[in-house]
């Protein structure tokens, strides 16, 4: 009987059961997230991320603290023993730590060759095979006593060697080194402070825990310089909570001959290319008419942007404009998120210093304990050596008469009453040193060792003595490595008050509002080229007003709201475009539409609200003037009757009211009393009968009536007169244009 052949399906294994969302998160995502947080993106109390620490420690072990410059590729290759993330990532880390890149106030790497610039997006660094590097002298303060058990060591990723978990830094690098990192669900952004100011602050806090930090640490200091706009409230928030922002401006000079502006320092958060791109964008949009050219003049001597201005331009006003509209003034968002004992914590400056002091105290204790044990061991050996001084010949005799090698140590122990360690030391002394002079010289060290041991034991028991050591280290570091502050401090009271509109250009424009709520701002030269306005099907002009770019605009809506805006809030456009749709632009409520527009510069004159019930309300425009920049005013006019028309009047004049039964009434606006309350119902001007309502209202100058006295009334209210044939709407189209 033939054996049944197995089918292909039977050979195929059953597919694995898919993992659930919770299991996937626990087994795959959470370990990744924790790895990014703990081992990549967030700095620790020594001011370094793991990638920085691995690189610097590799350079230290290669002897680059005192040696000559070596090829960067050599360093990168050696660092891969500790950092398996690839040569590209390692080299980028080195670039940022280098003096040539200028990203740090206190560079850790001395560099030779092109390492790019932190202030340039396009100035790329050269490949690692072309550049050279070594450790900067300040790294002595980072690796001091690292071989004296000051920090813990752990195996590297393949257990082939060990690396330090932290570096025993003798000054708060966490505050002098700028650090930025994005982890999973959290981020860190630490600004740099001046080394001397940080050292002074730490010393002051050790003497007085309630010391006001602002007195010795007036603000951040950035490697790219600039001017820090010091706002005490913002700075206090950063110092206390570790979160907040500080504003930094570029530093510039004006050439007295040409009037050109030379920008020499920029905010740390931007680049030369970003600034120039923004200036060009604004120039093309017609918002920087004072400029004629902008150039990147950066070279080997440093960064420089040249701005060429047109004749008659005020450089100070132009710079105020550029500060507002470009990254020449930018904010540095502080987020002092640091790993403390493997836990991410957002700490203020005072808390960071306290944590660093705790870390540094532990380093000094461990170093002292290491030296203490070493000194005690040496003292123990010298005490044993002292015992054979009384009878050197006896020691020689014991060694010479002992037949077996393994019995030498026990016999010495018995002969002189020493322990095994002391006996081992005595047995290993060279024959040439078994003389009285040598031993006496060695014994002189006993008193000195005993004194040192007493001092070290006192240090371990006294926080005051440890603080003195920390203070001494900080004073030494400041004396050796302090540099003048690069970022100039400018306090709020030193800033010149600049009106928001001073830097905005004012020029003639015409505002157009359509009945469907589309708005345009058009310059006269554009209107001369094409005055035919484009509208959507069924839409038409509601109002056109000649004014200026700085005019105040008030848009009244069907919900009795008034939305305020500035003319310069809208882009210049053309007649051939539809324009801005105001309900969307001004973020109006659903189904809210624009029913009228007022344009003013000084809030003079009145606005007449004409309602379908025949009432007219006269409200001064000044009622809509606000001290704060409120964008929406509620109850802008009465809701007791639907709005038929609005008229903006600079002074009292004759107006024509027209009802749905084709009656007209001419009223002088002075007869309508002015009401300060915006939501006033007004007074009855034109009496309405039956189902007829007030339909239109225009000034007499716009109406073009043939017989003004026929429609005029001196008393209110009045019914009006039927429109004559020559005054009917078919002949006077303007009657139906508000």
Domain with residue 262: its CATH number is 3.30.1360.40
Among 292, 309, 327, the domain boundary falls at: 327
Domain with residue 76: its CATH number is 3.90.199.10
Among 304, 327, 350, the domain boundary falls at: 327
Whether 615 and 733 map to the same domain: the answer is: yes
Distance CA 603, CA 552 (A): 8
Evaluate whether residue 23 is within a structural domain.
no
Evaluate whether residue 373 is within a structural domain.
no
Query: Is there a contact between 231 and 220 (Cβ–Cβ < 8 Å)?
Result: no
Q: Which range is least confidently modeled, 417-421, 491-495, 536-540?
A: 491-495
Distance CA 197, CA 203 (A): 10
Residue given tokens 């371990």 in the structure block = 460
What pLDDT score was predicted for residue 736? 33
Q: Which residues contact 223 (CB under 8 A, 6 or more apart)?
A: 102, 103, 104, 105, 118, 178, 192, 268, 486
What pLDDT score was predicted for residue 404? 87
Evaluate whether residue 303 is within a structural domain.
yes
Evaluate whether residue 285 is within a structural domain.
yes
Q: Read off the DSSP letter of residue 589.
A: P
Domain count, the chain: 3
Distance CA 153, CA 141 (A): 18
pLDDT classification of 253: cutoffs 50, 70, 90: very high
What pLDDT score was predicted for residue 35? 79
* pLDDT at position 37 over 50: yes
Whether 152 and 263 map to the same domain: the answer is: no
Whether 735 and 613 map to the same domain: the answer is: yes
Average pLDDT, the chain: 89
pLDDT in tens, 361-392: 999 999 999 999 999 999 998 888 788 777 77
Question: Phi-psi category of 354—alpha, beta or left, where left has phi over 0 and alpha has psi -120 to 50?
Answer: alpha
Among 275, 294, 327, the domain boundary falls at: 327
Evaluate whether residue 85 is within a structural domain.
yes
Query: Is there a contact between 669 and 699 (Cβ–Cβ < 8 Å)?
Result: no
User: For residue 120, which of 300, 303, 326, 301 has the smallest C-alpha distance?
Assistant: 303
Query: Is there a contact between 396 and 498 (Cβ–Cβ < 8 Å)?
Result: no
What pLDDT score was predicted for residue 370? 96
Whether 151 and 264 map to the same domain: the answer is: no
Whether 158 and 263 map to the same domain: the answer is: no
pLDDT in tens, 306-316: 999 988 888 88
Evaluate whether residue 665 is within a structural domain.
yes
Q: Which helix (H) or strand (E) holds 101?
A: none
Whether 163 and 266 map to the same domain: the answer is: no
What pLDDT score was predicted for residue 289? 81
pLDDT classification of 735: cutoffs 50, 70, 90: very low
Domain with residue 733: its CATH number is 2.120.10.90
User: Percent of the chain beyond pLDDT 70?
Assistant: 94
Q: Which of residues 76 and 311 earns the better pLDDT score? A: 76
Among 29, 32, 130, 433, which one carries the catalytic annotation? 130
Q: Which range is least confidently modeled, 104-118, 549-563, 619-633?
A: 619-633
What pLDDT score was predicted for residue 480? 96
Range of the domain at 712: 602-624+631-738
CA distance to 90, 574, 585, 586, per residue, from 567 (Å): 52, 15, 13, 13
Q: Is 130 one of the catalytic residues?
A: yes
User: For residue 37, which of 275, 388, 342, 313 has the smallest C-alpha distance?
Assistant: 342
Q: Which residues contact 723 (CB under 8 A, 6 or more apart)?
A: 658, 662, 663, 664, 729
- pTM confidence score: 0.74
pLDDT classification of 729: cutoffs 50, 70, 90: low
* pLDDT at position 430 over 60: yes
Whether 66 and 157 map to the same domain: the answer is: yes
Query: Is there a contact between 279 and 327 (Cβ–Cβ < 8 Å)?
Result: no
What pLDDT score was predicted for residue 733? 40
Whether 614 and 727 map to the same domain: the answer is: yes
Whether 606 and 719 map to the same domain: the answer is: yes
Whether 610 and 718 map to the same domain: the answer is: yes
pLDDT in tens, 267-324: 999 999 999 999 999 888 778 888 899 999 998 888 999 999 988 888 888 898 899 8
pLDDT in tens, 131-171: 999 999 999 999 989 999 999 999 999 999 999 999 999 99
pLDDT in tens, 384-421: 878 877 777 888 888 888 888 888 888 888 888 888 88
Whether 159 and 262 map to the same domain: the answer is: no
Evaluate whether residue 276 is within a structural domain.
yes
Whether 157 and 271 map to the same domain: the answer is: no
Section 331-335 average pLDDT: 95
* pLDDT at position 444 over 50: yes
Evaluate whether residue 238 is within a structural domain.
no
Section 728-736 average pLDDT: 46
Q: Which range is least confidently modeled, 355-359, 430-434, 600-604, 643-647?
A: 430-434
């Amino acid at each position: 009987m033939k054996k049944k052949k197995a089918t292909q399906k039977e050979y195929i294994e059953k597919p694995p059961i898919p993992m659930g969302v919770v299991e996937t998160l626990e087994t795959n995502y959470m370990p990744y997230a924790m790895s990014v947080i703990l081992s990549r993106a967030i700095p620790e109390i020594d001011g370094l991320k793991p990638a920085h620490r691995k690189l610097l420690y590799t350079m230290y072990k290669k002897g680059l603290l005192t040696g000559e410059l070596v090829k960067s590729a050599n360093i990168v290759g050696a660092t891969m023993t500790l950092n398996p993330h690839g040569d590209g990532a390692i080299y980028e880390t080195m670039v940022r730590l280098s003096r040539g890149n200028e990203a740090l106030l206190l560079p850790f790497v001395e560099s030779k060759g092109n390492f790019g610039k932190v202030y340039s997006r396009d100035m790329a660094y050269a490949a690692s095979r072309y550049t050279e590097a070594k450790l900067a002298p300040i790294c002595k303060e980072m690796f001091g006593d690292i071989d004296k058990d000051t920090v813990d060591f752990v195996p590297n990723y393949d257990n082939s060697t060990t690396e330090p978990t932290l570096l025993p830094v003798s000054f708060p690098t966490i505050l002098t080194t700028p650090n930025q990192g994005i982890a999973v669900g959290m981020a860190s952004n630490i600004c740099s402070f001046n080394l001397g100011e940080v050292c002074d602050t730490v010393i002051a806090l050790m003497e007085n825990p309630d010391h006001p930090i602002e007195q010795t640490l007036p603000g951040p200091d950035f490697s790219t310089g600039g001017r820090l706009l010091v706002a005490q409230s913002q700075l206090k928030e950063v110092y206390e909570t570790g979160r907040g922002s500080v504003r930094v401006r570029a530093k510039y000079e004006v050439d007295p001959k040409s009037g050109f502006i030379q920008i020499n320092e920029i905010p740390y958060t931007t680049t030369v290319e970003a600034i120039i791109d923004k200036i060009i964008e604004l120039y093309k949009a017609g918002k920087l008419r004072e400029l004629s050219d902008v150039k990147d003049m950066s070279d080997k001597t440093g960064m420089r942007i040249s701005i060429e201005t047109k004749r008659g331009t005020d450089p100070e006003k132009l710079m105020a404009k550029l500060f507002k509209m470009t990254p020449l003034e930018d904010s540095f968002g502080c987020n002092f998120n640091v790993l403390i004992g493997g836990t991410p914590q957002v700490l203020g400056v005072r808390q960071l210093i306290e944590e660093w002091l705790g870390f540094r105290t532990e380093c000094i204790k461990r170093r002292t304990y290491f030296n203490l044990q070493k000194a005690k061991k040496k003292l123990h050996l010298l005490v044993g050596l002292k015992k054979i001084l009384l009878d050197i010949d006896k020691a020689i005799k014991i060694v010479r008469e002992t037949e077996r090698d393994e019995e030498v140590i026990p016999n010495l122990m018995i002969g002189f009453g020493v322990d095994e360690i002391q006996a081992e030391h005595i047995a290993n002394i060279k024959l040439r040193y078994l003389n009285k002079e040598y031993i006496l010289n060695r014994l002189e060290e006993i008193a000195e060792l005993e004194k040192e041991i007493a001092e070290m034991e006192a240090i371990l028991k006294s926080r005051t003595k440890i603080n003195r050591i920390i203070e001494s280290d900080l004073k030494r570091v400041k004396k050796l490595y302090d540099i003048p502050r690069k970022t100039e401090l400018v306090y709020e009271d030193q800033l010149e008050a600049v009106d928001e509109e001073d830097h905005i250009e004012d020029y003639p424009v015409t505002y157009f509002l359509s009945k469907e709520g589309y708005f345009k701002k058009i310059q006269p030269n554009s209107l001369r080229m094409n005055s035919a306005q484009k509208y959507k099907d069924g839409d038409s002009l509601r109002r056109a007003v000649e004014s200026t770019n700085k005019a105040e605009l008030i848009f009244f809506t069907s919900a009795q709201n008034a939305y305020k805006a500035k003319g310069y809030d809208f882009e210049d456009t053309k007649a051939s475009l539809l324009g801005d749709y105001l309900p969307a632009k001004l973020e109006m409520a659903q189904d809210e539409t624009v029913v009228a527009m007022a344009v003013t510069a000084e809030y003079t004159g009145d606005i007449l609200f004409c309602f379908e019930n025949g009432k007219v309300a006269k409200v001064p425009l000044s009622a809509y003037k606000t001290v704060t920049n409120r964008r929406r005013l509620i109850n802008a006019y009465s809701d007791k009757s639907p709005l038929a028309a609005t008229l903006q009047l600079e002074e009292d004049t004759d107006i024509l009211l027209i009802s749905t039964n084709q009656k007209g009434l001419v009223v002088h606006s002075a007869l309508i009393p002015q009401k300060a309350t915006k939501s006033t119902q007004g007074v009855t001007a034109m009496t309405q009968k039956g189902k007829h309502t007030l339909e239109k209202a225009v000034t007499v100058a716009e109406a073009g009536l043939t017989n003004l006295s026929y429609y005029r009334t001196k008393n209110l209210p009045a019914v009006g007169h039927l429109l004559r044939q020559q005054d009917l709407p078919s002949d006077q189209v303007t009657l139906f244009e508000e």
